[in-house]
Structures are given as C-alpha cells and as structure tokens.
Amino acid sequence: MALIVQKYGGTSVGNIERIKSVAQRVARFKAQGHQIVVVVSAMSGETDRLIHLAKQIQAHPDPREFDVMVSTGEQVSIALLSMALIDLGLKARSYTGAQVRILTDNAHNKARILNIDETNMRNDLQAGYVVVVAGFQGVDEKGNITTLGRGGSDTTGVALAAALNADECQIYTDVDGVYTTDPRIVPEARRLKTITFEEMLEMASLGSKVLQIRSVGFAGKYKVKLRVLSSFEEAGEGTLITFEEDEKMEQAIISGIAFNRDEAKITILDVPDRPGIAYQILGPIAEANIDVDMIVQNVGHDGMTDFSFTVHRSDFAKAMGILKKQVAPHIGAREVTGDDKITKVSAVGVGMRSHAGIASKMFRTLAEEGINIQMISTSEIKISVVIDEKYMELAVRVLHKAFELDHQV
Ligand code: ASP
Ligand code: MG
C-alpha cells in the first residue's frame, strides 16, 4: 500500500466526462489499496475567464480581491470530483487550501507555501477517504486567501506530497510526459523516460510549460518522487524525474531544447561604470517583485558602460517605467531602450558537464541559418541564447536536429 498524491490539471478536469474519468482512475488506484490525495486545477479556461472578468472592472485588479476570485475555479473542481467519487461508491471529502490550512506568506498572486497542516488529511486517509484538495491556493496568517501564481496547482501537489511523505507524486496532464522539445514545433520530438531534476528545472524555467518551475524546485529539495503522465491514456509510464546521482544509465549529452517566448530585453545605455551600479539598477526592479533572468554588463569604455537584462514580457512595461522614472535620472544614464519581441532558446543536458564543444556547435548551427544571437548565458548544464522572436521555431528545429534528439532511444 502506498500513499500517492495525484494532481490533475485543467484539461484533465475540463468537462463532466473528464471529471468522471478522473474519478474512475482514482477509484482504480484506491481499489489497489493505496491511499490517495488528489489535487485539482480549475476546469480548463476557467481561470482565464475569471481573470477576464476582473480586468473588466480594474485593469490591474486589487491583489487581495483577485485571489478571492481566481481561487474559486479550483473550489468548483474539488466539489465536482468529490461528487463523482461518491457517486462511484467511494468515500471522498474536498478541502480548499484554507480548509487544509496550507499556510502561505501574504504575497498575493504569487504566494509561497510556508507550512501545511496534515491533520485533516491524515485522519481522512486513515478513515478510508479519498482527500481532494484545491490546487493553486492557500491562506495567509491573517486568514486572507492567497494564490500561488499561474500553474500553481503543480506546486500544491508536490508540497502535499512532501508534507505527507508520499511515495509518489503523479502529475496528470494532457501530454504523456516531458519531451525533447515541443512536438507542435518539432513533430519528431520524443518523450523522455527519465529526466533529472536539474534538467527539468532548466526546461521548466525555460518555458517548457509542463510543470510550474516552483514545483520542481520543491520536489528536488524534499526528494519527492515525481512523475508526469497523461490523464487521457489508460496506461503509460510517463516521464520520471530522477536525481542525477541515482542515474546509472549513460547520459545523453543534450536532453532537450527549451524555449521561452515571453521574454523582453531592457538595455540601459551609458551608465557610469562604478561600484554599486548593478545594485542601483536591479534593486528597484527586485523591490517591485520583478524577476530578472539574464544579465549582461559590457566592458567599460571611458568610465561608462551598458547594462542589459531580460524580464518576463508581462513585467516589461512596469520595469521600463521604473528604470525611466526612478533609476536612469538618478544614476545619470543616457537612455533606456527595450525590446519585447525576443525569445530565449536553450540546449539543456547534464551530459554537458563532461563534454566540450556543445556551445560552439549551438552557435555554428544558428549561424548557418543566419540567426543573430543577442545575448548568451551558460550554466553547467545549459546554454541559452536570446534571439529575435521571429526565428524561434526555426532555431528550435535546427538545434533539435543538430543534437540528434530525434534519433536517440
Ligand atoms: N488554475 C490555475 C491556473 O490556471 C492554477 C493551475 O491550473 O495550476 O493557473
Ligand atoms: Mg498546469
């Protein structure tokens, strides 16, 4: 008997038929004698619908009220799924995040989980219930409803698995695993049987959209056994996320080509080249809760330098505003320019640690297609480039081919 946390995403509970089919899958696991905690997202499209409603009243909705509203999508799903389970003759009980008491900080719209009270869940599991928990939400110390950011139900699933010390956390979605790249762009893309946590972190943060990045970090930290599978298939082993040190097999050099369309680049021209300048530029950006990704500072010339960095496209206008109004006049920079038509493309693989020449192969492949590289960043297991968004699909296709990702077994 195992304790399994299963998380079902929006498309997996997208309509009544799908909810019934999820209930049947849960019932099959229950019949095998397992204890099951189910985490569900809102029905597909529902969160977007709610956000659209809010924006018709306030262009930038009040963060607290926004959370009160968008958290309702998941509340509908947990009740419907519990009814479907009860209808199959199972014992089931639903909980909102606040009812479990998933305690978070008070950063509305992107709150972090601080603590999970397991008491209710443990008691219910002992008594033979399937526990159904609303993803994406929690409650702060003062009782305010909070949400964890788009895709946050993955994080709820992993966090519950960690708190309950579950044997496995299964993330059911509309794809049957993690692929070498997006099959909509490269039809030859293959499902990976395993991928390491480190690679998955890079793939997720680079926009591979299979799992919310924070959930992968969480799983790595608490050693949660994580598997991504399709809820549209009867059987299938999906992709298991492993730890590199457990990996006995020969590693592929590159595991995948990831990309992120929603990037924007900001450059501050002619900044005085002196200590503290990076802090003066990026401090106010961090204070505004804007995540910065790639950062490049040029070699100084005549006491001046240029400074560029990338942000998520949705933060672009806000970041430009801060730099133009608060930062540039203050530090005496000449100009702030921006480009929100860029994308980041990356080659990811732990095998890179032991192989030279990956970067030059990547740059040569892009050069042969006439694709200009605007920024480069590297880590031990990835190489990322920023390019014009109009070349993104081409870049992904040629890199996937160059690294022979369609060939491996
Ligand atoms: N319903 C939320 C969203 O669409 C959370 C989730 O699905 O994970 O972002
Ligand atoms: Mg999702």
DSSP, residue by residue, 294-344: EEEEPPPBTTEEEEEEEEEGGGHHHHHHHIIIIIHHHHT-SEEEEEEEEEE
Alpha-carbon distance of 243 to 253, in angstroms, equals 16
Tens digits of residue pLDDT in 197-248:
889 988 876 666 678 888 888 898 899 999 999 888 877 889 999 887 665 5
7, 128: one domain: yes
Residues by chain with Cβ below 5 Å of ion ligand 2: 9, 151
* Distance from Cα 329 to the centre of ligand 2, integer Å: 41
- pLDDT recorded at residue 367: 98
**Positions of the chain with pLDDT under 50:** none
Q: Are 19 and 147 in contact (CB under 8 A)?
A: no
Strand order in the sheet with 113-116: 113-116, 102-104, 137-139, 145-147
* Distance from Cα 152 to the centre of ligand 1, integer Å: 6
188, 298: one domain: no
| Boundary-marking domain end, from 221, 249, 277 | 249
290, 329: one domain: yes
150, 116: one domain: yes
Number of helical H runs and strand E runs in the chain: 14, 18
- Report yes or no on 320 lying in a domain: yes
The CA R_g of the chain, rounded to the nearest whole Å, is: 23
Phi-psi region of 97 (alpha: psi -120 to 50; beta: other; left: phi over 0): alpha
- pLDDT recorded at residue 214: 83
CA atoms within 13 A on the CB side of 70: 32
- pLDDT recorded at residue 217: 85
Residue 280's SS3 state is helix
Helix H or strand E segment including 366 = helix 358-368
Ligand 1 interacting residues, C-beta cut-off 6 A: 9-10, 41-42, 47, 73, 135-136, 150-154
Atom of ligand 1 nearest to the CA of 74: 1
41, 144: one domain: yes
195, 330: one domain: no
Nearest to 350 by CA among 199, 192, 193: 199
Q: How many domains does the chain have?
A: 2
- pLDDT recorded at residue 249: 57
Please report, in angstroms and rounded to a whole number, the separation of the first and last CA atoms in the chain: 33
CATH number at residue 342: 3.30.2130.10
263, 240: one domain: no
- pLDDT recorded at residue 211: 84
Domain that holds residue 215: 3-249
- Report yes or no on 407 lying in a domain: no
* Distance from Cα 43 to the centre of ligand 1, integer Å: 9
Nearest to 39 by CA among 102, 123, 95, 113: 95
Alpha-carbon distance of 318 to 388, in angstroms, equals 21
Q: Could you give the angle at the alpha carbon of 53 between the alpha carbons of 51 and 58, nearest 5°?
A: 85
Which alpha helices (DSSP H) does 7-96 contain, by range? 16-31, 46-57, 63-70, 72-87
- Compute CA 99 distance to the chain's CA centroid, rounded to the nearest angstrom: 25
Alpha-carbon distance of 390 to 396, in angstroms, equals 12
Helix H or strand E segment including 263 = strand 256-272
Counting ligands in written order, the one closest to the CA of 51 is 1
- pLDDT recorded at residue 408: 61
- Report yes or no on 87 lying in a domain: yes
209, 261: one domain: no
206, 121: one domain: yes
- Report yes or no on 209 lying in a domain: yes
CATH number at residue 56: 3.40.1160.10
156, 281: one domain: no
Test site for ligand 1: of 39, 66, 113, 136, most ligand atoms within 8 A of the Cβ: 136
| Boundary-marking domain end, from 206, 226, 249 | 249
230, 340: one domain: no
Alpha-carbon distance of 373 to 367, in angstroms, equals 9
The DSSP call for residue 191 is B
